[in-house]
Amino acid sequence: MGHTIALAGNPNSGKTTLFNSLTGARQQVGNYPGVTVEKKTGVYKINGLELTLVDLPGTYSMTAYSLEEVIARDFIATEKPAVVVDIVDAANLERNLYLTLQIIEMGVPVCIALNMIDVAEGRGVRIDAERLSDLLGVPVVPTVARSGRGKRQLMEAAATAADIPSRAKGPDVSYGADIDNALSEMEPLISEAGFLVQYYPARWVALKYLEADEQIVSAGQAADPVLSSRLVQIADRVASHLSATLDTDPESVIADQRFGFIKSIIRQGVVRVDNEQNRLYLSDKIDRVLINRLAGPVIMAGVVLLLYHLTFALSEVPAAWMESGFGALRGLADAHMAEGMLKSLVISGIIDGVGGVLGFVPIILLMFVGITILEDSGYLARVAFMLDRVFKVFGLHGSSVMPFIVSGGIAGGCAVPGVMAARTLKSPKERLATLLTVPFMNCGAKLPVFALLIGAFFAGYKAWVMFAVTVISWAGALLVARLLRMTVIRGEPTPFIMELPPYRLPTLQGVIIHAWERTWQYIRKAGTVILAISVLLWAMMSFPTLPEQRAEMFGPGQQAELARAELQYSVAGRIGTSLEPATSLAGFDWRTNIALVGGFAAKEVIVSTMGTAYSMGEVDAEKSSGLSARLSNSDHWSPLTAFALIIFVMFYSPCFVAVVCIAREAGSWKWALFSMGFNTVLAFLLAVAVYQAGSLLGF
């Protein structure tokens, strides 16, 4: 039996590196209840004691401002970890201690890891850990998370702090006369009523009322409305007094006093600086080039292209292995199973479905290796910084760029890792708008469809049409993002107050753990749902079966015609046929409709289903020249129809693998269903507009 220890700290303080170093591969990744924020736990053994470590989300503060902060705060208050280990960046002491002070305010035992002490020393900053410990009243252990230096001492100190039942009382911070008086008035009222005290210390609750903390005030309102109103009254009185006398508010005063307290501690001999202050560090020198207004964008384009090409080129090899592996499995089932529905289910439903799920694994893994390297090195924040101005216009965020590019902003990506890459976005509204618009990009699976149609109807200007297709998808995605941000995801832009972390070499362990976790989550969570949908789609394209007497009408040489008739008779075929009156407005007949229904499974399926619908048998998506010739000779088809179909395929519902990922990342199926419905309607309207306008103009 051991203690639970929570790891808290600023983003970029080395918290995750320390957590990885302490727990190694023995980590469990889950989600905090009801939200998409990851919860990582692991175990550290020391002196026969098993300590359970929980990696809280990185935060700068403990207000109820962001989801991460609420989660970290709730965990400390309700789960009552034996100790909170606060990881503090030694090279950046003042700002990091702001969070420390707020954790101490919560009345839990705290132990400070003075991390990256080597970096601070390298800068000529010497920190007296003992002095800091005396002044704050909590143990302070210098550490270097990367090398593991000090981690054992840290865990010993944490275990000791957990064993001492009398909680070391933190320092008494004065928030100035106005606030202090109000606190003294409120604290006894709260203690006597036992108001919220099961979770929080009385003084802390009083402080939160003065800060007008929405979460605490509404919890208080529910627990004891009378007392809560009384506290709000006192807080309002202080607020109007401060507003009248000092033109400020309690929140600002409290924050100023906290920083004042920290400054006074630091001045009491905690920090000694050997060199002159504010000299340029290595990161600043690198930034002179990498975020230079001229060189910066050029280098960025190069880095992004390199990441993109490496990922897709390297993933081709393992993807081909998997494909041939599943091909062999398919062959095995084909050779050893009796003809019939069960065989069809196993081959077309299960093997193809599982193959479809696992086929994405190499690309997701490699994409996250690349993105983790960019993120951990600090470069991704610079990319967001340079591009924010552009994306802001469309209601997005500088960090939206990666998901867009990965999804196929440079033709040939994939929306599945693209959607998952949106996790680097911390602002909820911008993130949702990104999730919903990245599927408009031209992923690798849409390209064979475009290649087929361009080959058949625009063979003379392939490059130009491909270029136009890329421009249209970007324009469409950004404009739709703007539209969404003005309607269903309305709201002020999230502040772009962001840290540009110092450049650091990513750790191998960090990159591997991170990329593997993402991939494993995809396999485990998305995989099951995707398999079920795959079987459902198979059933839709196979049932009901053609009545025997009709099937008998096809001779042995008419396999392809039989397949066409079977497809037309199935649920999917009937849907396609019944939609024909509507889709003819865009120039699509029932054959195209069935192919588009199949395309919901995976866009690659569009080409092969069209092949079946045109009685050509199974058409390989990569070798579609026969079908291409067939289309260009058909009366039904014109370049205009082809263009309308290109537009439709570009914008309609994401494939269901992407839909499942959107549901997971957005935290609700509501948005996934929205993306299916909205995108399909939008695509249809655009295709109709293109077809009708084109017809009027005589194309």
Partner 1 sequence: MQKINMRQMKQRQSGKISAIRARGELGRRMRDMGLVPGTVFTVKGRAPLKDPVALRIAGFTLTLRNSEADFIEVEVE
Q: Please report, as residue ranges, which positions from 391 to 410 form the binding site for partner 1 (by CB under 8 A).
A: 392, 398
Residues forming a β-bridge with 49? 46
Q: In Å, how far are 6, 89, 105, 577 from 110, measured between CA atoms? A: 10, 16, 10, 68
Name which of 204 and 614 has its Cβ closer to partner 1. 204
Going by C-alpha positions, the residue among 182, 162, 279 that lies closest to residue 239 is 182
Q: Please report, as residue ranges, which positions from 173 to 212 form the binding site for partner 1 (by CB under 8 A).
A: none
Q: Which stretch binds partner 1 (CB under 8 A): 163-171, 362-370, 384-392, 587-595?
A: 384-392
State the nearest-atom distance from the C-beta of 259 to partner 1, in Å: 5
Task: Tell me the one-letter amino acid at 215.
Answer: Q
Q: Does 470 bind partner 1 (CB under 8 A)?
A: no
Q: Does 91 bind partner 1 (CB under 8 A)?
A: yes
Q: Does 500 bind partner 1 (CB under 8 A)?
A: yes
Contact map string, positions 362 to 381, toward partner 1, x by CB under 8 A: -------------------x
**Contact (Cβ atoms closer than 8 angstroms) between residue 418 and residue 450:** no
State the nearest-atom distance from the C-beta of 262 to partner 1, in Å: 10
Answer for which of 16, 17, 21, 92 binds partner 1 (CB under 8 A) is: 92
Work out whether the CA dihedral 297, 298, 301, 303 comes out positive or negative: negative
Q: Which stretch binds partner 1 (CB under 8 A): 245-253, 347-355, 408-416, 469-477?
A: 245-253
Contact map string, positions 288 to 317, toward partner 1, x by CB under 8 A: x--xxxx-xx--------------------
Q: Does 499 bind partner 1 (CB under 8 A)?
A: yes
Name which of 259 and 474 has its Cβ closer to partner 1. 259
Three-state secondary-structure class, residue 190: helix
Q: Does 72 bind partner 1 (CB under 8 A)?
A: no
Q: Does 259 bind partner 1 (CB under 8 A)?
A: yes
- Take residue 487 and report the two structure tokens written for it: 């309607």
Three-state secondary-structure class, residue 4: strand
Name which of 429 and 591 has its Cβ closer to partner 1. 429
Q: Does 163 bind partner 1 (CB under 8 A)?
A: no
* Cα separation, 669 vs 665, whole angstroms: 10
What 279-283 contacts at long range (C-beta under 8 Å, 24+ apart), as own/partner pairs, is: 281/123, 281/502, 282/502, 282/503, 283/378, 283/502, 283/503
- Pairing, β 83-89 against β 110-115: parallel
Answer for which of 285, 389, 490, 550 binds partner 1 (CB under 8 A) is: 389
**Contact (Cβ atoms closer than 8 angstroms) between residue 54 and residue 48:** no
* Cα separation, 111 vs 92, whole angstroms: 18
Answer for which of 472, 498, 673, 689 binds partner 1 (CB under 8 A) is: 498
**Contact (Cβ atoms closer than 8 angstroms) between residue 60 and residue 85:** no
* Cα separation, 110 vs 346, whole angstroms: 57
Name which of 391 and 651 has its Cβ closer to partner 1. 391
Name which of 278 and 633 has its Cβ closer to partner 1. 278
* Cα separation, 502 vs 123, whole angstroms: 13
Answer for which of 89, 376, 430, 566 binds partner 1 (CB under 8 A) is: 89
Within 194-272, where are the H helices?
202-210, 214-223, 225-246, 250-265
Q: Which stretch binds partner 1 (CB under 8 A): 181-189, 190-198, 284-292, 629-637?
A: 284-292
Q: Which stretch binds partner 1 (CB under 8 A): 497-505, 591-599, 625-633, 661-669?
A: 497-505
CA 17 to chain centre: 20
State the nearest-atom distance from the C-beta of 263 to partner 1, in Å: 8
Residues forming a β-bridge with 8? 86
Question: 């120039």: which residue's tokens?
Answer: 587
In the complex, the residues that contact partner 1 under the rule CB under 8 A are 60-61, 63, 65, 89, 91-95, 98, 249, 251-252, 255-256, 259, 277-278, 283-284, 287-288, 291-294, 296-297, 381, 385-390, 392, 398, 495-502
